[in-house]
Amino acid sequence: MNIRVVLLLVPFLITGCSTVSNFSFSSLSPFNWFGGSPMLSDSGLGDISSATPLDEDSLNKTLDDGYRLRKGMGMSAGQTTTFFEAMDGTKLQLAFYGNEQGKVERIEVMDKGIKTPAGTKLGTEFSELFEKAYNHCEVGTGDYTGSVICQSPESKHISYIFSGEWMGSSSIMPPDDKLKTWTISKMVWSAK
C-alpha cells in the first residue's frame, strides 16, 4: 500500500472515529451489515427509551421504518390511553404504551428476533434463567391469566411472560418442575 495513503488514514483512525457522531465500532461487525433487530435492554428497545415521544414519527425513525405502525386507543384506570402497535405484515411484533407526558412508558415484545444483551429471547426456557419461581415470579392476572411473570435477572425494567402447559388453576403458581419447560411468550420493558 502506498505510504502516503497510510499516513493520511492513521490520523483519522486514531482521532476521527471518536468525533464522528453516531459511530459505533459494533456497526463494523458483519452481523450488523444487513440490518438487524433492536436489542431489549435496561434502557429500552434499541434507541427507544422513556425519553422517546409516543408518536408515529419518533417510533418510525428509531425503528428505521422496519415495521408498519398502527395507532390504537384504550382505557386504563378510567383514562383514555394511546398506544402504537408495530406490525410485520399481519403479525403483531411490538406494542408501545405511553404516560401522561406523552413519552414511552411500556414496551411489549413479541418479535422472535429481538434479544436482550444476554441473548434471552422469545422461546427461551424457564430453566435457562431460573431454578425456582420463588422470589422471581408471580402468577399472571388480567391479560396475563394462565401465564407466569418473572423479573429478568438482567434488569429490573424487563419482565418475562412465560407460557406452557399446566392442568392446575390459573390462579396458582405451577410447580418448578412444570415451569422448567415453559418458554417466554412475551418480553415487557417498563420505565418504572
DSSP the chain: --HHHHHHHHHIIIIIHHHSTT--GGGGSGGGTT--PPPEETTEETTB-TTSBSSHHHHHHHTTT-SEEEEEEEEETTEEEEEEEEEETTEEEEEEEE-TTSBEEEEEE--TT---TT---TT-BGGGT-S-STTTEEE--GGGTTSEEEE-SS-TTEEEEEE----S-TTSPPPHHHHTT-EEEEEEEE--
| pLDDT for the residue 22 | 33
69: β partners: 86
CA separation for the pair 147, 133 (Å, rounded): 12
What is the pLDDT tens value at each position of the chain, 192 positions in all?
Answer: 555 544 455 444 444 443 333 333 333 434 344 457 899 999 999 999 999 999 999 999 888 878 999 999 887 777 778 899 999 999 999 999 998 899 999 999 999 999 999 999 999 999 999 999 999 999 999 989 999 999 999 999 999 999 999 999 999 999 999 999 999 999 999 999
Distances (CA, A) of 48 to 136, 162, 189: 26, 24, 11
pLDDT of residue 133: 96
CA distance 101 to 174: 39
The predicted pLDDT at position 4 comes to 56
Which pLDDT does position 3 carry in this prediction? 59
- At residue 20, the pLDDT reads 38
